[in-house]
Amino acid sequence: MNDIMKSSLTFSRLLNKACIITNPQEELNSDGSSANPWNLCTVEQVEELKSLIKVIPMWSTGIVIAVNISQNSFPVLQANSMDRHLGPKFQITAGSYGIFSIVTMTIWIAIYDRIIVPLMARLTGRPRGFSLKQRMGIGLLLTCIGTGTSAMVESVRRRNAIRQGLSENPLGVVDMTAMWLVPQHCLTGLAEAFNAIGQIEFYYSELPHSMSSIGVALFSLGMAIGNLMATAIVGVVDHCSKRNGKDSWVSNNINKAHFDYYYWILTGLGLLNFLYFLLCSFTYGRCKKDRNRVLDEGDETKEEEEGNPREVSVMF
């Protein structure tokens, strides 16, 4: 741990050296501005770069949850092969089961804001209940539970399809209600409510105000990379699983494929990512929101902890 702190301090000092002016006549214009902004930076610019580099490890943990959230086509294939009737005349379309994720996320946000937050604030002393890192971690863990649930449901569905003689008929409907898919969608919605919102608040908290827009951009970039990774994972699983003439685990014939194995792979990746998040969370230290709460209680001044780097524009 001491080695990590020493390396972080050394890196911080190296970045701060970027602001030292060695020859003012050549490096500054007559009005005091930098003659070459690529070679000379203000202290504020260096602090912004340091803040961005610091959140990158935590940002990378959100990519795997984006991989899991982007798996939209497989639940549709599952729903198409199951009984989607609610009553004798009403049938839910296969692509509409994702609404349970959105509804769960919407309801949970309202419950969390109006009920959970006041209760947790009294118990933990935090004005927002769970800390930002706790909310992000809960979201990652719920994602693992969601993909594990998807694997178990698919295993039951596939076993019933084979028992009913539908292994060669991907369009056949299994005698099994599609409401079995609801729990996994609800867990995905809960995971997104915890992690996605926690991520954005984390970026707003840790990055300077001048970089607020980068917070949303980081989240969107993570989702985009997650979608690309999801496509790559499907390609790798398809290539490796159909060797030696075997049926691919992600075959178009869902009854001969093994989507349950694929979901277990995502669950394993999610658990590894959760362990990586714990490591990043431990080495990151306390978030600014939590530090500011301690400062408001009078433990120490904010200027002493953060160094108030924005008061000086250039270091001589």
Determine, yes or no, domain membership for 1.
no
Angle at Cα 83 formed by Cα 82 and Cα 89, nearest 5°?
A: 155
**Predicted confidence band of residue 253 (pLDDT cuts 50, 70, 90):** confident
Task: Give 115's DSSP letter.
Answer: I
Determine, yes or no, domain membership for 314.
no
**Predicted confidence band of residue 67 (pLDDT cuts 50, 70, 90):** confident
Average pLDDT of the chain, as a whole number:
78
**Predicted confidence band of residue 246 (pLDDT cuts 50, 70, 90):** confident
pLDDT of res. 308 = 40
**Predicted confidence band of residue 251 (pLDDT cuts 50, 70, 90):** confident
How confident is the model over 96-122, as a mean pLDDT?
A: 87
Task: Give 298's DSSP letter.
Answer: T
pLDDT of res. 305 = 40
Determine, yes or no, domain membership for 246.
yes
Q: What crossing angle do the helices spanning 259-284 and 132-163 adopt, rounded to 10°?
A: 170
* Counted domains in the chain: 1
Residue 135's CATH number = 1.20.1250.20
Buried b vs exposed e over 84-115: b needs ≥16 C-beta within 10 Å? Answer: beeeeeeeeebeebbebbeebbeebeeebeee
Determine, yes or no, domain membership for 312.
no
- CA atoms of 132 and 143, how far apart (whole Å): 17
How confident is the model over 103-128, as a mean pLDDT?
A: 84
Q: What is the DSSP string of 127-186?
A: TTSS-HHHHHHHHHHHHHHHHHHHHHHHHHHHHHHHHTT-TT-TTPPEEEEGGGGHHHHH
pLDDT of res. 30 = 61
Q: Given a cut of 80, is residue 207 above it in pLDDT?
A: yes
Contacts (Cβ under 8 Å, ≥6 apart) of 51: 206, 207, 208, 211
Determine, yes or no, domain membership for 28.
no
Q: What does the pLDDT look like over 76-99, one tens digit per residue?
A: 888 888 988 887 788 888 888 889
Q: What percent of the chain has pLDDT over 90?
A: 21
Determine, yes or no, domain membership for 24.
no
**Predicted confidence band of residue 48 (pLDDT cuts 50, 70, 90):** confident
Determine, yes or no, domain membership for 12.
no
pLDDT of res. 24 = 57
Tokens of 219: 């989240």
Buried b vs exposed e over 18-34: b needs ≥16 C-beta within 10 Å? Answer: ebeeeeeeeebeeeeeb
Structural domain harbouring 194: 44-293
pLDDT of res. 34 = 60
How confident is the model over 200-205, as a mean pLDDT?
A: 88
Strands 85-86 and 82-83: unpaired
Tokens of 183: 């729990």
pLDDT of res. 225 = 92
How confident is the model over 216-236, as a mean pLDDT?
A: 89
- CA atoms of 108 and 139, how far apart (whole Å): 13
Determine, yes or no, domain membership for 130.
yes
How confident is the model over 117-136, as a mean pLDDT?
A: 80
**Predicted confidence band of residue 283 (pLDDT cuts 50, 70, 90):** confident
Whether 258 and 159 have beta carbons less than 8 Å apart is answered as: no
**pLDDT: is 232 or 47 the higher one?**
232
**Predicted confidence band of residue 47 (pLDDT cuts 50, 70, 90):** confident
pLDDT of res. 311 = 33
pLDDT of res. 257 = 87
Q: What does the pLDDT look like over 146-189, one tens digit per residue?
A: 999 999 999 999 999 999 888 888 788 888 898 999 999 999 99
How confident is the model over 7-22, as a mean pLDDT?
A: 51
Whether 145 and 231 have beta carbons less than 8 Å apart is answered as: no
- CA atoms of 228 and 146, how far apart (whole Å): 21
